[in-house]
Amino acid sequence: MDHGLTVGPLRGINDYHKIVEMVVDGGANAVLGHTALFLHSKYEGDKNFGRILHLSGNSDLSPNINYKVIVNSVMDAVKFGADAVSVHINIGNEDDSQMLEDLGEIAQECREWSMPLLAMMYPRGENIKDEFSVENVRKVARIGAELGADIVKTNYTGSIDSFKEVVEGCPVPVIIAGGTERNIKELLQLTKDCIEAGGAGVSFGRNIFQSRDPIALTRAISLIVHQKYSISDAISEAQLKIEGK
């Protein structure tokens, strides 16, 4: 839920407290966001979940949307009691060398503080013709692992066989982004294919918090990821209605 910094107050994250309650009750392992998530959300249930402080970002008002700057620190995460930190790195644009340097420095700090690091690694910029090609995705995933990430988040390459190449080429767990708006069956199929390819899980934003029923949708995804449910069984068990979005 780092979207508020990049694109503003999207529908679904106006009330941090409400959406955190919903996705955690649905079975999400962790929630991710900037400082506001830690300052303005509370969870009053009895479920354990991780909180991830996102350390990088920019605004879509910026002339270079692909350049992510460091806006938080590992020390901030320690003070907040965060369970992990994350950074967003775009490879293939004129500023990627600075982002790589930032990733290396943050990874070093994370090792000093025993803080898990999630690296969002995307092939994105003027040198990239295809953000979803297996060649590009497997390369950026490996870059994240090489510089010290504990988990890499990246694009799904479109097929189980091609994504297997990404997973096999990366020595740390790989999870996928949700990307553009999808209908429920597409999102569940994406989740299922990722797991079958050897992916460790998913990291979805708008497709969850802007859905009609975030609790049921999160529960269905959790059943597929953790218990290897079929799509139809996950829909049934989660009592998920698939009409609309």
Positions marked catalytic: 2, 122, 153
Residue partners of 223: CB distance under 8 A and separation at least 6: 27, 229, 233, 234, 237, 238
User: Under a CB-based contact definition with an 8 Å cutoff, are residues 93 and 124 in contact?
Assistant: yes
Task: Quote the CA–CA distance of 137 and 155 in Å, as a whole number.
Answer: 7
